[in-house]
Structure 1
Amino acid sequence: MMAADLNLRVWLGSGADAQAGMIVPYVQSPAHRIIDYRIRVIKQGPSGTSRIAQSGSVDLPAGRPTALTRFSISIGAHDQCQVELLIFSQGIQAGTYRFACASAF
């Protein structure tokens, strides 16, 4: 299966009015489209491993940043945390994006 080239802009941000630890994945598309997404977050540290998984569909208006979801995570000084975002368009994988959780703060 070939990946779709959607020319998406994808990044992590923090909620504008959110508490510390809030992560918001954003997607911006040059053209209107509906995408499906899967998000996996893995945090590892001295206290163990935590996992978050979410999925859904979102309608992306052309040229407008759109938040896919919002979630909160507490990260300690010795924790490692990664967000993996998979995007699909019409059942075809359009991209895999990986971020350190800290890039959102």
Structure 2
Amino acid sequence: MSDHVSEPVTRNSEASRYEVQVDGNLAGVVEYDEHDGRIDMTHTEVFGDFRGSGIGETLAGGAIIDAVDRGLTIVPSCPFIESYLRKHPIAGANIEWPKGD
């Protein structure tokens, strides 16, 4: 397996997910629900041999930047996305933190 991300993070609106490819293979996704100016990032998954290669961080960062660029409020329901946002503040991000924070 190569650790080379061959394509940028892309938004697949039909499937309601962000995707990243490595050497032409789907390496991971961030699933989301988008409505009323909000994007609830619900689940992040990196597949098989791609785990532990940094793909998750690449994917999270790309998804968040796209949401910020589109002016959406980010709801980090996924623990991975929440952790990423806490460790890597993104300028201009409007975040609706989970209850209890």
Comparing both chains, which one has the higher relative contact order based on Cα–Cα distances under 8 Å and sequence gaps of 6 or more?
1
TM-score bucket (shorter structure) = 0.3 to 0.5
More strand by share: 1
More helix by share: 2
TM-score between the two structures when normalised by the length of structure 1: 0.33
TM-score between the two structures when normalised by the length of structure 2: 0.34
